[in-house]
Every structure is written in structure tokens, then in C-alpha cells.
Amino acid sequence: APLVNGIVDRFEAVGLRVAGPRRGAAQLEGSKVFAKDFMQRHRIPTARYRSYGDAGAAMEALRCGEYEFPVVVKADGLAAGKGVLICQDLRESLYAIRLVMEERKFGAAGDRVVIEEFLEGEEVSFMVFTDGNRVLSMVPSQDHKAIYDGDKGPNTGGMGAYSVDWILDQEIRHQVMKEIIEATIQGMASDGYPFAGILYAGLMLTSDGPKVLEFNVRFGDPETQVILTRLNSDLLEIFWSIAEGKLNPSEVRWLEDATVCIVMAASGYPGPYEKGMPIRGIEKAASKSHTEVFQAGTSIRENILVSNGGRVLGVTS
Ligand code: GLY
């Protein structure tokens, strides 16, 4: 949200160093319609789609059989990772449109929707550092989105992640860098939105090659927990060189280890959940070698650590 609202522009305006995309470039994540139109214009592989600013028109298209099910309905704007609904049939898709555009479940994010083809395959989160010219890839990771075991239940922001090099073999990684990442950085520059910072491509490895599910303009959560624990360089130096426009490949080195993060969430998430539940045992868990417990939805009340969000802890090893 700060990037989409222009924090980088504000820092630059007063001469402060900052590593991230400006407001215009952050639209890649801030608007699904912007991202899809951009990808179509620059022939970056992604699911077929149409966008609608009117619930009636979207419902009419669904009823008229313009889509094959399942379809994916996406709220246009930021929705804390919850604005993507996979719909198995007409009834579910009409309900999704009603929820997003009429009941305004995600507020102004539902002014417009994208309806797109459902892609099948293995999902991979692929992130890069870029200063707008040079692009350096991070190690790949895989995020686990469904709330329950066995890929069941509604999508969340991510219930866990792991990172290991073989998630993306060299050949596909090369293809992703060329056809997706570099095409995006070049396309954004030529559209007048030079992109610096972290670009995250959520990919589906389909039988027809890798396709973009979504872009984020930041680190992923919980992917960051498994990626940065493999970073064997100083993150501040990387950010500094992005801010200076001088990203240097020798600054970004990775460990070969495999890492995993399990998210502990509040009961009820991604629906309504309780806050303020006391948390104990973090020190004990974190005292194990190669283990860190990252805190997300936590807070301190009267000197006691308590839960304060849906996704509370990221136990990473
Ligand atoms: N884990 C997905 C995200 O950060 O958007």
C-alpha cells in the first residue's frame, strides 16, 4: 500500500534514498487491470482475460457462456491477498461478482474486476532485484496458498513456503528471465514507468510454458522468510545499490540450502478471527539451530506478546 500510494515519489521529492518502484510503476501490483493490459500489450504470457467496471456486464458475459469454468475472478485493487476467487461454475462466479462489486467486500478494490481463464500447473514465486537496468534473480520459492492441508479451502496470503533451487530448472529460469522479467522491465520503461526495486512474478508452470498469474512490487510473504534466510550477502548494500542505480551482481550471493517456513495463523483466518491471544514458546523454538520465528501479526499488550492479525508467526528453518 505505501508503494501504491507513492512513498518512493515522496522520498525522492525530499532527496532521501529509497529502493522501490514509484507510484506509477507500483500499479503493476496496485491494479490487476493495469497489469493484465500491460502484459497483453507487451506479449508477456498470462491467462486470457477481460476486465469490467460494471457488475451487470460481467454477469451478463458469464451467463452468455463467454467463459469456460473454472474461471478466476479478481478484484482490481489491493485486497491483502484475498481478492482472488476461483469459481467452479456459473453460480459461484455470479456470487463472486456480487461479493466484489456489489457488496464491496474489498472496498474500492472492487470498482473493477478481471475475469480470467483458470491456469493449471505448478505455482512458483520468482523475485528479482532491479535498479531499472540490471536485473538479478533471487532463488525461487513456492508459496502454499490454500488455508487447509491438501490444497483445500479458500486462498490466503500464504500459509507457508519453501525455497530450493530445483523448483525452477535452468532452462525454464532462463525463459522466465527473458520472456517475463526482462520483457516487463523493458516494457515498463518504454511505457514511461521505469521500475526499480523488487519485482515478484507469481508464475504458473503450465503445459504451455510459464505464465504470469500476478505481479507484486515487493517481497512476498511468506516467501521472503525462506528466500532471505538463503541470502549470503548484505541486504542493506543491495538496497543501497538499487537506490543509487548501480546494482552489482557480486553483491548478491545465495546459500545452496533448502528452507521452509510454516505460518501459524489465528483460528478463523482468512475469515474473521480473534486478536489478543497470548503467545508463548518463541524463544524455545528459535533456540534450535537454523530456526527463526518471524513475527507478523503480533503486538505487545501489558508486556505480553499477543496475536494481532490473521497470519501471526512464520516459523522458518
Ligand atoms: N505470498 C504471496 C504474496 O506475498 O503476495
SS3 105: coil
Q: What is the pLDDT of residue 89?
A: 96
Rg (CA), the chain: 20
- Percent of the chain's residues with pLDDT above 70: 100
Instruction: Please give the helix or strand (H or E) that residue 262 lies within, else none.
Output: strand 259-265
pTM: 0.93
Q: What is the mean pLDDT of residues 74-100?
A: 93
Pocket test for ligand 1, best of 82, 124, 143 (most atoms within 8 A of CB): 143
Q: Residues with Cβ within 6 A of ligand 1?
A: 81, 143, 157-158, 216, 220-221, 223
As a whole number, the mean pLDDT across the chain is: 96
Nearest CA to ligand 1 atom 3: 220
- Ligand 1, atom nearest to 145 Cα: 1
Given pLDDT bands bounded at 50, 70 and 90, which one contains residue 247? very high
pLDDT in tens, 275-290: 999 999 999 998 999 9
d(Cα 116, Cα 36) in Å, to the nearest integer?
10
pLDDT at 81 exceeding the cut of 80: no
Q: 270 and 82 in contact (C-beta within 8 Å)?
A: yes
| pLDDT computed for residue 151 by the predictor | 86
Mean pLDDT of all residues in 177-195:
98
Is the pLDDT at 74 greater than 80, yes or no? yes
Q: For the segment 50-71, what is each residue's pLDDT rounded down to a tens digit?
A: 999 999 999 999 999 999 999 9
User: Is residue 175 predicted with pLDDT exceeding 80?
Assistant: yes
pLDDT of residue 154: 84
